[in-house]
Each structure stands twice: as structure tokens, then as C-alpha cells.
Structure 1
Amino acid sequence: MNSFDKLYKPGKMTLGIEFPLDNDWSTEGNRKRLEDNRPFGVPDISNHLALAKQIDEAGFAALWMRDVPVYDPNFGDGAQLFDTLPYLGYLAAATKNILLGTAAIVLPLQQPIKLAKAAATIENLSDGRLLLGLGLGDRPVEFLMYGINYQERPKLFKAHLKIMQEAWKTESDLSQFYPFLNQDVAVYPKPKNKIPLVIAGYSGQSMEWIAKNANGWFNYPKTPEETYLNQKKWCEALYDADQACKPYISAFHLNLLKDDNAEFRPHRFGGGVGVNHLTELLKTYEEIGVNHMALHLRKSETPVSESIAKIEEKVLPYFGI
């Protein structure tokens, strides 16, 4: 079974959670951050393992994390702090059912052979639960530190992906990328199953290219109206590429308000709402074609563990396979 078979069925939407598992952008979370003397955007992840297991056991479809090599105060976001690839391996052993997704690894910064080997390792050890999301990267300081030309990102994205896909083949020929090779070499392990590729945003490519080369598209948090237009573009590109339906994935910055009956209050990238109105809000996205929604809880006024429990009880039964 492909990982995407667990993620969605056409016309249905599943729910996931996006790291970090902290609510440090809420009023109480920010107060605690100041007490801990943490820079803005550097989360408290001390309870991450218990929360990851809670999310897995609750029945969410996926856990998503991002690749942030260095903390840049200009962005004010340290993601989940832990390095993406070893952390995925750790979570593969610590969880049982949930899909493990990256949204996204900055592909132009990666050595493609190393990433191909790491991704295949995680795919093997997680029993096929890896969703490999790849992105372009948007933090210039990282490219300066890596000695990579920021303007070369789109070209490197394509080139690195081709090398990875060749490395995963049972019979691979890496000499086409490395002409100096005077002997046969191979990268092991090989994936047990085809690793699903998710492209985050446009990654410097055309929509047509994404439709042909990706198994799913992870677009950034948008209003329902904006999401509808983007999902329509995605479907049209798939149709032009003579492709069957592929997942449209998005995220939502959720402030789960302490008043369970609170009406929806929009904010950038999402909004605040009581749990009793969350289902109807998410159904709006399902109806316009979103196949999977990753909930981001950093703004939540309700503590993360309590938020997960409330969503499990009152919302999750309405979404899933």
C-alpha cells in the first residue's frame, strides 16, 4: 500500500499535525518563553515524545516537520529544533501508525546521495510511512553559509531530485551524473516501496512540472477562497498532464480557543475557533478539494495536549479514511 492510500481518498480530507508541538505563539506560551529566556520562535519541545505518541494513538493521519538548518532572528522560527532526518528516524521507532512527512526539506541545500540514502533508510525503518516533502528554501543566510548561489535554487532542485530518483532504482547508473566514476556504484538501502514525493509551494518550477513529477502538492495556508483557486489550478495541471487525481495538501494555523463555542475569528494563515465549530470550518476546506490538512498549534490558547484530545474526541471522527 502506498503511503498516500493512508492519507486520502478522493473527495475526503484527513487531518495531521505540524511540528513544533508547542503553543509558544499563544499568550500563555509567549509568557513561558520569556520566563525561559528563549528567543522568539525557539519552541519548548521538552514534551515532544509524549505528544507525538498521543497524536499517533489518537488516529491523526500524519505528523509534519520542516527543515530549518539555522535559526535566523529575521525569520524568528526555529521549527522543531531537532535536525529533520535523524529526528524522522527517531519518530519512526517511537510511533506505530502515523505517516511521517517533511514540509519541507530544503532540497538545494542537500547532498543528493546522502539524502537519497537517508530517505530510503527512514522509509525502510518506518515500514513505508515516509512522505518526502521537498522545498526550495527561502532563507538567504543558509545558502551563504553552505556556499551555494541563492539564484541557482530552481536548477539545483531539479538536478538533485534526478540524482536521488536514480539512486533509488534497483539498477541505477549514477555515472550519468558523476562522469569521473570508473566503476559501478550503488546506494543502499533501496526503498521497499516507491517513496511518495510532495512538492511544497512551487519550488521554482511550473505547475505543469509539479503535476508530472510530484505525487502531491503541499500549498501554504490560505483562506478558503484562495485555496479553492489554487486547488483548481492543481486539478487543471493534472488534467493537462493526463494524470489521475493526486493529493492537495495544506496547513492551518489553529488557535483552539478555550471557549468551546467560540465562533471563527480569522488571523494570518488560519484563525481562532472553539472546538464545537472546528468541524464545520474544516469541512469548508474539504468541500473545496483539500485532501489533507496539517494543523499548526503554535497559536493555540488551549495547551497542545488538551487541543489534541479535544480534536480527537469532537473533530477527528468526521475526517479520515
Structure 2
Amino acid sequence: MPSGHENAGYRRLFDGDGMTVGTGFPLTGTRESTPDVAAELELAALAESLGYDALWARDVPTYWPKFGDAGQTFDTWPWLSHVAAHTDEIALGTSSVVLTLRHPLHVAKSAATVDRLSGGRLVMGIASGDRDPEYPAFGVDRDERSRLFREAVETLRTVWREDYPELEGQWGTLEGDLDVVPSPVEESIPLLPTGHSRQTTEWIADHGDGWLFYHLPDRTLESYIGDWRADAGEKPFAIAVRVGLADDPTAEPEPLHLGYHAGAEWFREYFHRLDAIGLDHVIVSLEGDDRAGALEEFADEILADL
């Protein structure tokens, strides 16, 4: 579908007629410690060469063992800058920047920097956060998440589009004598609220450039996309899915948290169903010890068929 946005990453994901597929860091699967940088970059280059459309980096400010996941460990912005320097055309995404825990002017500057360094490839998933201990750690009232999220979105849009803006929020005040530089390659960077981000669907449709959601069963996904189209028209809808490829290509699906373990034959049918439902992009999180092999097998068995 036509994206209506000039950002190169957004066009890579959403300007075609069919569903696109990306994958997310840590590509090595290391989620509770620091992943090997060389191995991550090697897999990122492999994903690009195999035809994946995006590489997504999560924003996890602190490690909470109870949650059991430190994301890709490295801070989102320097990490994506590093990845940008080692890739050429693949879209770079955040999934997702926790706006409530970051100063919006820092986010605006950091994101625009990555966008510039990558040639306009940055697409931003944005979120209100879901790890309770982080709010007191950053001095944020968790009950204010909804308002802070909306305020941050307004701030990002304004400072990217206006020179020397006048703007006020809980984060501070701009009185027209300061500019936030650099600016993005295009007028703005695409923003995709993640989950509900404590907002209504109508607000997300009005203020987002798309909607990034978690894995949903087929019927629920179809219902969500139908409601989204009614509110947002042709703005894109994306989800994340965990994928465990079984050794037996005919294996029937078994549930994983936010995904499935199944054979390649079932996954081919599954991703065709997602495409037919009207999904625009899917972030696959590949399971298994041989991550290069998983990237290649998924590309050969499923991407090539799409």
C-alpha cells in the first residue's frame, strides 16, 4: 500500500502491496547479558543479504531479573548507529522506545542523529513502558504514563518540524530561542505506538503513522485490523511473532510465548494467512541455537514463498 511517508525505512516496509518481514536484536538470542557485537553485526548483514526488510532494536533501560529479559543490552541509539554503519538499505526500527522514561528532547536529537547517519532508514516504535520498578528509578509517576506519552509525541513532532519552537511540558519549556538539531532526513520520523500505550485506538490512529502490536491469534488479529482500518484508513499494522522452526517440516504447531514452534510447511501457510488478513509487517524472533541457520531457513522456506 502507498505509505504516504518519504522516510526510506518506512517506504521499505510499507510501500509495497504485500506483507514485509523483519527481525529483531539480539539476533544471537542473548537476552540476559551482553551479546557478542561481531556476531550480532554478522547476523545483521546476513539478514539484509537474505531479504529481510528491517532490523528492530528494543529499548530496555535497566535489567530486571524478574522480567528475565535485558533486550539487546546496548542502548538503542548508539547501537542502531553502529548497525547503520554496517548495513546499507535495510530499515532500522525501535521496538520500542519507552518515551515515558526518556526526556523528549534527548529522544528527538538521538533519533534524528540515527536517521541522518542511516540515510533516513529509522522507523520508531514507541511505548509507555511495562516494567514497574523502572518508574521510581527514573523519578516518573507510573500513573502519569498516559499523559506523558501523549506529551512526548507532541514534543517530538513539534521539534522535528519547526525551527526554534515554542513549547511547554512537564519536561521543560522551549521559548523560541533554542533549536533541536539535527533534523531528520525528512520532515519527521515515523512513529508507531506499541500495544495500546495507554491510549485509545482513535488517538493512535490520529497521532501515529501506524500501529505496532504483539502477537495475536488469527481471529483476534483480523478483528483488530478491521477496527484499525475503520479508524486509521490505510495506515499500516504490524505485529511481532516468535518463530521456532522444527526439524520436521511437517510438524504441527505448538504454542510458544507470543508465537509458535512448528514445521516450515505450517509456517508458510501461517504467514500467507497473515498477509491475506491484511497485516503489513511482521517482526519475527527466531528461536534456536543456530541463528544463522534459522535466518537462512526462514528466508528460504517462508520469505521466498511470500
Tell whether the structures are fold-level matches, with TM greater than 0.5.
yes
From 202, 217, 225, give the equivalent of 1:223.
Answer: 217
Alignment-mate amino acid for residue 190 of structure 1: S
Distance 1:175 1:281 in 2: 47
Q: Which structure features the higher share of strand residues?
A: 2
Distance 2:207 2:175 in 1: 30
AA in 1 matched with 2:290: P
User: Could you tell me how far apart the structure 1 residues matched to 2:239 and 2:57 are?
Assistant: 13
8 A contact 1:257–1:301 mirrored in 2: no
Does residue 45 in structure 1 map to residue 35 in structure 2? yes
Q: Which residue of 1 aligns with 2:254?
A: 265
Correspondence 1:29-40 to 2 at 5 A? none
> Does the alignment pair 1:8 with 2:21?
no
Match of 1:142 among 123, 134, 137: 134
Q: Cα RMSD (Å) of the superposition?
A: 1.9
State the Cα distance separating 1:262 from its structure 2 match.
2.1
- Which residue of the partner structure matches residue 63 of structure 1? 55
AA at the equivalent of 2:207: N
Counterpart-to-counterpart distance in 1, 2:210 and 2:266:
28
SS of the residue 2:61 aligns to? coil
Residue 211 of structure 1 is matched in structure 2 by 205
SS in 2 for 1:127: coil
Which residue of 2 is the match for residue 290 of structure 1?
A: 279
Question: How much has 1:314 moved relative to structure 2?
Answer: 2.3
Paired-residue identity, %: 33
Deviations 1:60-83 (A, max 9, x none): 111112111111111111111111
Residues 34-73 of structure 1: CA deviation (Å, up to 9, x unaligned): xxxxxxx415622211111111111111111211111111
CA contact (8 A) 1:13 1:293 kept: yes
Structure 2 CA distance for partners of 1:153 and 1:18, relative to 1, 3 Å: same
Give the aligned partner of residue 152 of structure 2: 160
Instruction: Decide whether the 8 Å contact of 1:256 with 1:302 is kept in 2.
Output: no
Residue 270 and residue 176 in structure 1: after superposition, are their counterparts in 2 closer, same or farther (change >3 A)? closer
Partner of 1:196: 190
The answer to whether the 8 Å contact 2:159/2:179 transfers is yes
**What is the Cα deviation at residue 181 of structure 1?**
5.6
For 1:313, which of 295, 300, 306 is the aligned residue?
Answer: 300
SS at match of 1:103: strand
Change in CA separation of 1:189 and 1:287 when aligned onto 2, cut-off 3 Å: same
- 1:303 and 2:293 correspond: no
Counterpart Cα distance in 1 of 2:294 and 2:174: 54
Change (3 A) 1:90 1:174: farther
Work out whether residues 170 and 190 of structure 1, in 8 Å CA contact, stay in contact via their aligned partners in 2: no
Question: Secondary structure of 2:35's partner?
Answer: coil
Q: Which is further off, 309-318 or 173-182?
A: 173-182
Give the length in aligned residue pairs. 296
**Aligned-residue offset at 1:174:** 3.0
Of residues 169-178 and 90-99 in structure 1, the stretch that sits farther from structure 2 once superposed is: 169-178
Q: Distance in 2 between matches of 1:279 and 1:92?
A: 30
Higher relative contact order (CA 8 A, sep 6+): 1
Return the alpha-carbon distance in structure 1 between the equivalents of residues 273 and 132 of structure 2. 36
Counterpart-to-counterpart distance in 1, 2:35 and 2:144: 34
> Which runs of no fewer than 5 residues in structure 2 stay unpaired?
1-5
* Partner residue in 2 for 1:27: none
AA aligned to 2:226 is K
SS in 1 for 2:109: helix
Deviation of the 1:217 alpha carbon: 0.3
Gap change, CA 1:183 and 1:246, over 3 Å in 2: closer
Partner of 1:22: 28
Which aligned segments of 4 or more residues in structure 1 are displaced greater than 6 angstroms? none
Residue in 1 that maps onto 2:263: 274
Q: Is the 8 A contact 2:91 2:121 kept in 1?
A: yes
CA distance in structure 1 between the aligned counterparts of 2:90 and 2:21, rounded to whole angstroms = 11
**Equivalent residue of 1:140, what SS?**
coil
Q: Distance in 1 between matches of 2:182 and 2:197?
A: 27
For 2:63, what is the secondary structure of its paired residue? coil
Question: What residue in structure 2 maps to residue 90 of structure 1?
Answer: 82
Counterparts of 1:62 and 1:159 in 2: how far apart (Å)?
Answer: 28
Q: Which runs of 5+ in 1 are unaligned?
A: 25-40, 239-243
Deviation for aligned residue 1:284: 1.1
User: Is the CA contact (8 Å cut-off) linking 1:11 and 1:287 kept in structure 2?
Assistant: no
The two structures have a TM-score, normalised by structure 2, of: 0.91
Conserved 8 A contact 1:198-1:218: yes
